[in-house]
Amino acid sequence: MKTSPCSFSIIILTLLTSPSIAQACLTQRVQHFENQNVKVWTYHICPKEELPFHTHQNPRVLISTEDGELDVIYKDGKKSKIILKKNIPLYVDAKQGFALHKDLNNGNHPINVTVIELKG
């Protein structure tokens, strides 16, 4: 069976525009700024990916660009959820972050959340 140039072009175009190729996701943290009062960064968390184990010593405000949920998995096996609402700030007190934990985006879309750590 012969493949015409047009068919070949359609196959290539389909592959290049498929979500798994065209929209590769990278879980990452982008630091914005820090001073004596606050530290601000943004996390981009891909679907089914998690952040490494970490702790927090201060309260934080989380602002997500979309609705979503983060599963908080503690080193001792306990679990909790953080429910994020699009553009609605969420206050998280310091004691939530004292224990070693990691955050998992168990959803089907990336989550972008800006974190404002209150140092004062």
- Cβ 70 vs Cβ 107: under 8 Å: no
| pLDDT for residue 59 | 97
One-letter amino acid for residue 95 of the chain: K
Cβ neighbour number for residue 106 with a 10 Å cutoff: 13
Q: Tokens 């955050």 label which residue?
A: 103
- Cβ 79 vs Cβ 73: under 8 Å: yes
Output 68 or 17, whichever has higher pLDDT.
68
The answer, yes or no, to whether residue 65 has pLDDT greater than 50, is yes
Q: What is the average pLDDT score of the chain?
A: 88
Beta strands in the chain (DSSP E): 28-34, 38-45, 49-50, 60-64, 68-74, 79-84, 90-92, 101-105, 111-118
- Cβ 50 vs Cβ 105: under 8 Å: yes
Q: What percentage of residues in the chain have a pLDDT greater than 90? A: 77
The answer, yes or no, to whether residue 69 has pLDDT greater than 50, is yes
Rounded CA separation 29/115 (Å): 10
Two structure tokens written together for 32: 């914005």
Quick: pLDDT tens for 22-59: 569 999 999 999 999 999 999 999 999 999 999 999 99
Superfamily of domain 25-118: Jelly Rolls (2.60.120.10)
Output 77 or 20, whichever has higher pLDDT.
77
| pLDDT for residue 97 | 87
| pLDDT for residue 89 | 99
pTM score, whole prediction: 0.78
| φ, ψ dihedrals at 4, nearest 5° | -75, 155
Q: Tokens 């359609």 label which residue?
A: 10
Parse the chain into domains and list their residue ranges. 25-118
Two structure tokens written together for 5: 């140039």
